[in-house]
Structure 1
Amino acid sequence: MKNFQVNKYGYFTEDGKEFVITTPKTPAPWMNYIWNGRWAGLVSHTGGGYSFYLTPRDNRLTRYRYNCLPWDQPGRYIYVRDKKIANYFSLSWAPTIELKYDYYECRHGLGYTKIITENLGIRGEVTYFVPRDYDIEIWLVKLKNLTNERRDLDIFAYIELIMGNALNDLINQPNDKHFPDVYFDGDLKSIVATRRYWVTNRGVSVAQPNHAWPYYLIFSTSLEIKGFDGDKEKFIGRWRSNANPEAVELGSCFNTEITAGDPCAVIQSELELEEGEEKEFVFFMFLVDKPSLHTNERLKRNSKAYNKASEILNKFKNLGFVHQKFDELKKYWDDYLKTLQVKTPDEKLNLFVNVWNRYQIAVTFDMSRNAGYYHGGLLFGTGIRDQMQDIFGELIANPKRVRDRILEVCSYQFKDGSMLHNFFRISRTGEKTGHCDTPLWLPFGIITYLKETADFNLLYEKVEYYDGGSGTVLQHLIKAIEYSLNNLGKHGLLKFGRGDWNDTLDYVGVKGKGETVWGSEFLAYILREVIELFNYLGLKQFLKKYSEEYLKIANNINRFCWDGKWYIRGFKDDGKPFGSSKNREGKIFANPQAWAVISGIADEERTKMCLKSVEKYLDTPKGPKILHPPFTKVDPSIGLATRCVPGKKENGAIFNHVASWVFLAELIAGNAERAYQIYHATLPLNNAIDADLYKMEPYVYSEYVTSPDHPSFGEASHSWLTGSSDWFFKSVVEYMLGVRPTYAGLLIDPCIPSSWKSFSVNRLFRGVEYRIEVLNPDGVNKGVKEIWVDGKKYGDRILPVFKKGSICEVKVIMGKI
């Protein structure tokens, strides 16, 4: 693929692995993640963003100011000052945005961001990344003299620190500022920063564990250090900002150390560049453990922490070692992507499925809905529902990580089968909200993992319950289902509680009587999947019961919830239906139509009718809406959805997560052309052509796009951390291209546009590389006539599982059967 220009702001490189932004003045900060599963940072195209370790609330390292414009401030800033003329600029454009730059370019890659600028006759390049095997953040810098005279430069590297609880920093900063300790260690030639008091239970209570932040943060460089600052107020100066720090303007840091105040870490170095000369150096920050949570001591020479810091400093001041780590990072992502590659006639689909869709899923696997510009990382922690959906892409490349995640999620289940809705990893606290769908996502994740790996030993591993005692993973799975089956209402449907997948339907069941159709379809889906699993394993104890329960729920939905042309959304506490043709607003919701098909509870006739209703009432040029018509009046019996402005969020937006389910339902129903239309209608590449309207990054899915029910139709919001990336990926690979994992092997069942004459899928499955070529000579949407495996005709649509490390050549011929 040649460089693919998306809009006036940027393009994809030929290999698709970088998105290049050619002007800093994008409609919003376009960002990326640098992370390794433990250390993480958000980096915008102008160097903005923050870093954290393990969790963005309790272990925030650098500060992020909420409600800023633009909303990516502050960041990782490197100022370059010419000594002779006393002028300066930032290598990332921000925060010195009022200056005229001669050149700007940002390259967002897989796990790294590179920003290139030219100003004052200096070409600067900074690459931000986090190695896979070291918890350290690296800023690799190149400076080149573009003039014909020698240049004497001052270099200032700046970060603003929190070192602890970000929520406490936001709401209690005047008191929290009494505890930072920032100083320069002359032996380590580094800034060392820590905090004497660490808040981990930031709620309305003032009661806190009495301990220190358990780390020393080290900030250093490969250059010789001329000066430093730990006091932000002194470095910036009075009545100034990051755009014009007093120390930079004067050309000299103040060498401040603080034991209270607003902490920062600034390193000043000098650099000489001859005519045309280029030099490379590095800034980096990392953590070392304190010896105790109860110590307020500074880093002691020859201590374990000191020696560890010294070891890391020696390694990363070596530019050869830094380049090695960067090369290893790029190789990691190359290997990650190689585990699944598709080649279809659609280059946009190839680009997304092979690279950016996959990469976004990797981000959501680690960030959940927690650490982003739109998910502040302060209140909700990590969601169970999100964790068990964000596994599809990771599962192919790193099944062990998914296995560990499932065991972790099991540990947040109570003995009765209920679960925390969300949790915080360090404190292991969370909230039990009463969402009816939360317990069911655990069996969903387990089943998804088992179909990919056939690692049935997982079922017999013991995991503690959140409220004490322990059980096998199989017992955890059964408890989740039993809890749900014991939570049915008047119509034999799952009770709503404080919400289902749609959190904003939070008052439908607040009195304990409301029932959810989508949640009941999801329960039916889980029952059907568990029946298949137990059949495969010969676990007969629950088979009869769950088969009967599935039929009961399916019958109840079809008996009580069919509205004539679609399924209603549910029953409120007063027993009245909503999402019905009888309602004036919110007549039809997409969720119950899609999941009626996905769960298998709708027969062929009702499948056609409910999907046609979605197309008729919910369709827009940018994908199906979540509901129609939107609510214009507050309905206290429904909840927050009715308070959202019409056309945005859950009140009638094009909610991409929901759109992905409609896409999947159309594929299951065999409607390839309709599904393909939905895919392209929702594809960020297409919607971001008008970037000034769309605003969000064109290389990842956003949570929603504003619908025609609002004047800003086409504007997107809440990019990156959305389950739509996972579900579009899963639906394309498993149901459109039709390469789907089962317990017995890979099932081949494509559902493609009739114009496609061929496509291929290379996929790693249980250690075997499957090279699958699909031919469609008759131009059909669906139907497999022949399968050839390693040159021999094969009589089954489920491919055999070969020995690990082997390669399986598969040819599939589609046609009318």
Structure 2
Amino acid sequence: MALDKYGYFTEDGKEFVITRPDTPAPWVNYISNGRYTGLVSNTGGGFSYWMDPRDSRITRFRYNSLPWDRPGRYVYLKDTDDVYWSLSWQPTGHQPDEYECRVGLGYQTIRQLYREVRSEITYFVPPDDDLEIWLVRLRNDGLEPKRLHAVSYVELCLGHALQDLIMQPNDQHFNLVKFSRDDNTIYATKNYWVTNRGVSVAQPNQAWDRYVFFTSDLQVESWDGLKDAFIGKWRSESNPAGLENDLLSNTDVTSGDACAALQSVIVLEPRQEIEFVVLMGCVPAENYRETALPMIRKYRTPAGAKSALAQVKTNWDRYLSSVHVETPDPDMNTMLNVWGMRQSWVTFNMNRNAGYYHGGLLFGVGIRDQSQDMMGPLLSVPGEVADRLCEVLSKQFADGSTLHNYFKLTGVGEKTGHSDTPLWLPLAVINYLKETGDWAFLGRIVPFYDGGESDILDHVMRACDYVLSQLTENHLPKFGPGDWNDTLDYVGRKGKGESVWVAHFLCYILRETAAMLDQVANQCPCPSVSYVEDAASRYRAEYELVKQALNDRCWDGEWYIRGIRDDGDVIGSSRNKEGRIFMNAQSWAAISGVAEEERAKLALASADRLLTTARGPKILSPSYTQVDPGVGLATRCVPGKKENGAIFNHVAAWAILGNCAIGEGNRAYSYYRKTLPMVQSGLDPDLYKMEPYVYSEYVTSDDHPTFGQASHAWLTGSGVWMFRDGLDYILGVRPTYDGLMIDPCIPDAWDGYRVTRKFRGATYEIEVTNPNHVQHGVARLEIDGKPTDGNVLPVVEKGQSAKVLCVMGEAR
């Protein structure tokens, strides 16, 4: 594979080893415990924050910088020849004799050899405390002693990142940085903290409520808290003036651009090795020193740091243990066993908020996004998902509408009127119930955003009822300022346009909610139970009415249209010159059951014929080449990129799901295989650019000269949907209220596969064989050697295990 040009996966898949530093773009990893988070590139770039990357940023990210991961977390070394370099290649850009970066689960390790000094630096965040640890190892591989100056450096932001970005000349006046000789530590904060969403003169009169500490177990000889003093005039972190002196300037800060730099001296005899630790963390401003010092003592030794790193690795092993697959496709195994779960954990905690493409300044946490991101961690940490789900539900209004997004620290958000947003709440609750069987969860009391409170069951029904109340006279949902596709933002801006995709999604939610309500009466003694029988029958009736409207008004002959505009024209129709067919309108017609079998097959066959490329299916075709004010931003995007005709991985994931719904295993797997990140990158890593171990939001399609170039890695809902597609629908092992369903939809060339799946405290060891080489269907199912009717395995007692044999073939 061409991927070998830059790296490879280890045999167990738990690390991607980058073998040269000059990757096509900075390849990033996340170090986080869910509260304290850092982004770390393969060359040490990245920023850190606590809880919210806008409101509580610790280190600075210089937007639009070159390289675009600047600045970062750097350790410089300088020898007696006054030659200096960094342990992460950048920012000095020297040419190491050896280099590798191990992208791990919750840690990043960079190793190199330069000027006879072998170095290793590992960045990670411990599970229990809010700080990051840099564990450093140096070895003198030469024959002469070496006297080295070591300087650890970060550029500080301290508080509100948007304020820092656009008001920096004024904002720097409130920085406070001081060094404590007694603690061997720099402490820093800001005396003014903005928390409003916009930047204006109307801001709270308050200081930042956190203090940052930066320390090392090496004896600090000198320090700097002022960036200008350390970097110098007409320089950058690539050639800081501070490294050209024996000592730093020992400058504390009461006003000015803040940094934290600690300088120490290390003497290494030939073949001698030394380890040391750098810590950076944040604590509440009140009694900050008394809070910070116990953390510092706990981790500021190599032994303490190694113990914490071992705990990080143990926690990730435990997290991954809920699923293990063995299929004929090793790349699929790597994604399902490791990196699909890893990416979905990151999106669950970072949402679309803290990345190089989502700068963490304007959007916060999306209700739609978070409701989907829960599907990954749900297998491993259902308790955390339950708590997060309650947080999201608390952003619902009493009428059933919701905020579209919110910020974690302030709880402030925006209500945009997107037509799909309320429906994601029922989906998240239903997914939780199927996985856990925790019906008591529906009885939890959760407040409404605008006052009052109710049980979760009522929250679910209010979401459905709100969307139903917004149907047009044609019994179709209003498009509003957008649906899942935010860039179709002028189709229904005047309140008349209708979204065909939301209609499909509404049908799916109504069907699933009604099925859930059938179970509730005997499972959950909560106040809203008395309404469920009426609601279930009403939702089924509404399902049929919306389904009829879709099939009567929105079928175009070979596929479903995407929507009806305010002016009455349609999009996604054979009548259109551009944007004639949209994948979502076809995939969700099958997923929701709106399209009966033959119509679903025709719609998805049309989509396959008109949308599929060598790298996966496109979101729409043909791409818009002319701006259409009645459609919106999608038509302003470059053809072949983003929502204008790209291979949008979220859409591809739903195309896989739709094809599984009609038993098209060959096509579903073909889409899955084509869109795997290591497969995409392997075709041409320099063209693809992005990380080969996680999904990107989209890949440029054949409607653009850069066909095959990816963008927006890590923080995309495609990661969790591809994970659940592969496990739940291609391998077919998915939760239901009554047990674990086995419903494979695989390529007919496969002989079989194995899945180990933890479910409600029990372990299922599943072997699937395909003797007749079919794509779909279960001929026989056994549990512990005994045949079982149907294809749903009964719930096994907690703590027990069961061996399952599934023989594919025509269902009997």
TM > 0.5 between the two?
A: yes
1:135 CA drift (Å): 1.0
Secondary structure in 1 matching 2:283: strand
Q: Which piece of structure 1 moves more, 727-736 or 549-558?
A: 727-736
Secondary structure in 2 matching 1:241: coil
- 1:94 and 1:784 map into 2 onto residues whose CA distance is 55
Q: Find the partner of 1:105 among 100, 109, 131.
A: 100
Q: Which piece of structure 1 moves more, 40-49 or 240-249?
A: 240-249
Matches within 5 A, 1:441-460: 441-460=424-443
Contact 2:97 2:114 survives alignment (8 Å): yes
Matches within 5 A, 1:239-258: 239-258=234-253
Contact 1:696 1:702 survives alignment (8 Å): yes
Secondary structure in 2 matching 1:540: helix
Secondary structure in 2 matching 1:681: helix
In structure 2, the residue matched to 1:506 is 489
Matches within 5 A, 1:356-435: 356-435=339-418
Q: Find the partner of 2:91 among 95, 98, 102.
A: 95
Q: Find the partner of 1:139 among 134, 145, 148.
A: 134
Task: Report the residue type matching 2:615 in the other structure.
Answer: K
Matches within 5 A, 1:186-225: 186-225=181-220
Q: Which piece of structure 1 moves more, 154-163 or 777-786?
A: 777-786
Secondary structure in 2 matching 1:808: strand
Number of aligned residue pairs: 800
Task: Report the residue type matching 1:89 in the other structure.
Answer: W
User: Are 2:509 and 1:526 equivalent residues in the alignment?
Assistant: yes
1:563 CA drift (Å): 0.3
Task: Report the residue type matching 1:325 in the other structure.
Answer: A
Q: What CA deviation, in whole Å up to 9, does each residue of 1:487-540 have, x standing for no partner?
A: 011321100111000000001111111000001111110000001101122431
In structure 1, the residue matched to 2:798 is 804
Q: What CA deviation, in whole Å up to 9, does each residue of 1:458-484 have, x standing for no partner?
A: 111111111111111111111111110
- 1:628 and 1:165 map into 2 onto residues whose CA distance is 41
Which consecutive residues of structure 2, in runs of 5 or more, have no partner in the other structure?
Answer: 522-531
Q: What CA deviation, in whole Å up to 9, does each residue of 1:637-683 have, x standing for no partner?
A: 11000101111101111101001111111111101111111111111
1:227 CA drift (Å): 0.7
1:308 CA drift (Å): 2.2
Contact 1:407 1:463 survives alignment (8 Å): yes
In structure 1, the residue matched to 2:121 is 126
In structure 2, the residue matched to 1:229 is 224
Matches within 5 A, 1:208-607: 208-291=203-286, 304-538=287-521, 539-607=532-600
User: Are 2:661 and 1:668 equivalent residues in the alignment?
Assistant: yes
Q: What CA deviation, in whole Å up to 9, does each residue of 1:249-299 have, x standing for no partner?
A: 2232100001110000001111110001110000001122122xxxxxxxx
Secondary structure in 1 matching 2:234: coil
In structure 2, the residue matched to 1:725 is 719
1:194 CA drift (Å): 0.8
Contact 1:361 1:394 survives alignment (8 Å): yes
Q: Point out 4+ residue stretches in structure 1 off by more than 3 angstroms.
A: none
Secondary structure in 2 matching 1:688: helix
Task: Report the residue type matching 1:243 in the other structure.
Answer: S
Over the aligned positions, Cα root-mean-square deviation in angstroms equals 1.1
Contact 2:515 2:536 survives alignment (8 Å): no
Q: Which piece of structure 1 moves more, 478-487 or 751-760?
A: 751-760
- 1:206 and 1:422 map into 2 onto residues whose CA distance is 24
Q: Find the partner of 1:15 among 5, 12, 17.
A: 12
- 2:780 and 2:385 map into 1 onto residues whose CA distance is 34
Task: Report the residue type matching 1:122 in the other structure.
Answer: V
Secondary structure in 1 matching 2:274: strand
Matches within 5 A, 1:159-170: 159-170=154-165
Which consecutive residues of structure 1, in runs of 5 or more, have no partner in the other structure?
Answer: 292-303
- 1:739 and 1:387 map into 2 onto residues whose CA distance is 23
1:615 CA drift (Å): 1.0
In structure 1, the residue matched to 2:786 is 792
User: Are 2:38 and 1:44 equivalent residues in the alignment?
Assistant: no
Contact 2:197 2:362 survives alignment (8 Å): no
- 1:289 and 1:552 map into 2 onto residues whose CA distance is 55
Contact 2:2 2:685 survives alignment (8 Å): no
In structure 2, the residue matched to 1:296 is none
In structure 1, the residue matched to 2:631 is 638
- 1:32 and 1:496 map into 2 onto residues whose CA distance is 37
Task: Report the residue type matching 2:323 in the other structure.
Answer: L
In structure 1, the residue matched to 2:526 is none
1:205 CA drift (Å): 3.3
1:438 CA drift (Å): 0.5
1:132 CA drift (Å): 1.1
In structure 2, the residue matched to 1:813 is 807
1:748 CA drift (Å): 1.0
- 2:574 and 2:774 map into 1 onto residues whose CA distance is 36
Contact 1:374 1:718 survives alignment (8 Å): yes
1:795 CA drift (Å): 2.3
Task: Report the residue type matching 1:675 in the other structure.
Answer: A
1:758 CA drift (Å): 1.9
User: Are 2:759 and 1:765 equivalent residues in the alignment?
Assistant: yes
Task: Report the residue type matching 2:209 in the other structure.
Answer: P
Task: Report the residue type matching 1:7 in the other structure.
Answer: D
In structure 2, the residue matched to 1:295 is none
1:335 CA drift (Å): 1.0
In structure 1, the residue matched to 2:528 is none
Secondary structure in 2 matching 1:52: strand
Secondary structure in 2 matching 1:613: helix
Q: Which piece of structure 1 moves more, 657-666 or 282-291?
A: 282-291
1:338 CA drift (Å): 1.1
Q: TM-score, normalised by structure 1?
A: 0.97
Q: Which piece of structure 1 moves more, 792-801 or 18-27?
A: 792-801
Q: Find the partner of 2:692 among 688, 692, 698.
A: 698
Q: Find the partner of 1:688 among 673, 681, 701.
A: 681
Task: Report the residue type matching 1:732 in the other structure.
Answer: G
Q: Which piece of structure 1 moves more, 71-80 or 681-690?
A: 681-690
In structure 2, the residue matched to 1:736 is 730
1:629 CA drift (Å): 0.8
1:35 CA drift (Å): 0.3
Secondary structure in 2 matching 1:58: coil
Secondary structure in 1 matching 2:746: coil
Q: Find the partner of 1:713 among 691, 707, 716.
A: 707
In structure 1, the residue matched to 2:32 is 35
Secondary structure in 2 matching 1:147: coil
- 2:485 and 2:300 map into 1 onto residues whose CA distance is 50
Contact 1:6 1:12 survives alignment (8 Å): no
In structure 2, the residue matched to 1:297 is none
1:204 CA drift (Å): 4.7
In structure 2, the residue matched to 1:76 is 73
1:5 CA drift (Å): 7.6
- 2:18 and 2:188 map into 1 onto residues whose CA distance is 34
Task: Report the residue type matching 2:212 in the other structure.
Answer: L
Secondary structure in 1 matching 2:493: coil
Q: TM-score, normalised by structure 2?
A: 0.97
- 2:505 and 2:300 map into 1 onto residues whose CA distance is 53
Task: Report the residue type matching 2:668 in the other structure.
Answer: A
